[in-house]
Amino acid sequence: MFPLYYPGIGPRSSNQDYYLRASCGAGLLLAVADGVGGNNGGEIASKLAISTFYKSFSNSVEKNSIKESLEISMKSAHEALITQGSSVPELKNMATTLTVAFIKNKQMHVVHAGDSRLYVIRGMGLKQLTIDDTEVNKLVSEGVLSKEDALVYPRKNILTNALGIKDGFTYQSKIFTVKPDDRVLILSDGFYQVITKKFFRDLALQEKEFSNYFFQLVSKCKENEPKDNFTLVGVQIS
């Protein structure tokens, strides 16, 4: 498995997205973090979260289960942001999303907080393994908003959960069995906001070579003029 990545800056003056692709614990570790743009230090937050997560996971996975190591590392990254934000006034309230996949022996362990996403494309289907931690998604799940109303909801980008928030931080955790030729993609909201799930799926049916598929997605994203940083990390399971 050879992972690909593309960190796009878009119209922004800096890139608050950060990514990771690394061999670790005899498996493959992939991650995307998107620093919260409305808060101070979004760029620092995403880098700090991923660097802390990677260091923690690398140390923990040798002596704990994969699930435990991922959860320990998620908490460590969150606490690192809280500590840094509390000690540096300019970084107060900094926060970031973080979506991580660890793939080993056909098992993919996922931990997630925020609104970056993880897609698995298999055959004619696309499955989103993460749930967006957003105000609009919460209202839809509670039946307050319809899916149609959600499309024009004015606060679509408001997060309900992220690393660095002081109260109520949570994370999603799951295990998914991957199969040969599955395509695993982790992407920030700047990417999926301008490309539909249908396009991800339909292009996969047309383009059998993963690297061609990956960079056609990047080209399509650029063509659609994203309004934010846009990051994509992906791999095809061998």
Element holding 120 (H helix, E strand): strand 117-122
% of residues, the chain, pLDDT over 70 = 98
Residue 1 scores a pLDDT above 90: no
Q: How far apart are CA 112 and CA 161, in angstroms?
A: 10
Q: How far apart are CA 25 and CA 153, in angstroms?
A: 43
Which residues are registered as beta bridge partners of 134?
Answer: 159
Average pLDDT of the residues in 72-91: 94
- Closest by CA to 77, choosing from 49, 101, 98, 97, is 49
Q: What is the pLDDT of residues 96-135, one digit of tens each?
A: 999 999 999 999 999 999 999 999 999 999 999 999 999 9
Per the prediction, the chain carries an average pLDDT of 94
Residue 7 scores a pLDDT above 60: yes
Q: Can you tell me whether residue 176 is helix, strand or coil?
A: strand
Burial of 208 (0-12, 13-18, 19+ CB in 10 A): exposed
Q: What is the pLDDT of residues 60-71, one digit of tens each?
A: 999 999 999 999
pTM to 2 decimals?
0.95
How far CA 161 is from CA of 132, 148, 151, 237, in Å, comes to: 9, 23, 20, 30
Q: What are phi and psi of 43, to 5 degrees?
A: -65, -40
Q: Which superfamily does CATH assign the domain made up of 4-131+160-236 to?
A: PPM-type phosphatase domain (3.60.40.10)
CB 217 within 8 A of CB 203: yes
Position 71 scores a pLDDT of 97
Q: How far apart are CA 101 and CA 21, in angstroms?
A: 10
Model confidence at 38, pLDDT cuts 50, 70, 90, reads: low
Residue 157 scores a pLDDT above 90: no
Q: How far apart are CA 122 and CA 102, in angstroms?
A: 18
Q: What are phi and psi of 223, to 5 degrees?
A: -60, -35
Most confident by average pLDDT, 4-8, 21-25, 84-88, 136-140? 4-8
Model confidence at 37, pLDDT cuts 50, 70, 90, reads: low
**Cα 141 from chain centre:** 21
